[in-house]
Amino acid sequence: MNKFSATALIAAVLLGTTGAAFAAEPAAPTAKTRAEVLAELQAARESGEVAALSAEQAGVGALSNGVNAPTASQIAARKAAEKAVVAKKGAASEGVASK
């Protein structure tokens, strides 16, 4: 048996056993009613669990991973706003210094 045939045979066996393992998993649990889901949500809000998850995920969303990164126009607008603030502070401090 050549190397390709052996590799193909191993791959076929692995795919067959993996498929059987997935097929053996139990079905998804029964669906919850809307009232049950809302009750769980309210309990999580009251316990602070929702706030903790939101705070935890806020750090993830702030990563510059390309998906959530600011666009070029957003960056340009932020720089223009920063320059305006610096110019305004500079003009205000000049007025104080001249008095």
pTM (2 d.p.): 0.31
Please give the average per-residue pLDDT across 64-86, as a whole number.
Answer: 77
Q: How many residues in total does the chain contain?
A: 99
Q: Which two tokens stand for residue 60?
A: 């993830």
Q: What pLDDT is attached to residue 20?
A: 56
- Read off the pLDDT band of 65 (50, 70, 90): low
Residues 31-46 as b/e (b if ≥16 CB within 10 A, e otherwise) read eeeeeeeeeeeeeeee
Running DSSP on this structure, what letter comes out for residue 16? Answer: H
Task: Write the pLDDT tens digit of every residue in 21-32.
Answer: 555 566 666 788
Task: Write the pLDDT tens digit of every residue in 6-58.
Answer: 777 777 766 666 555 555 566 666 788 999 999 999 998 888 888 777 776 76
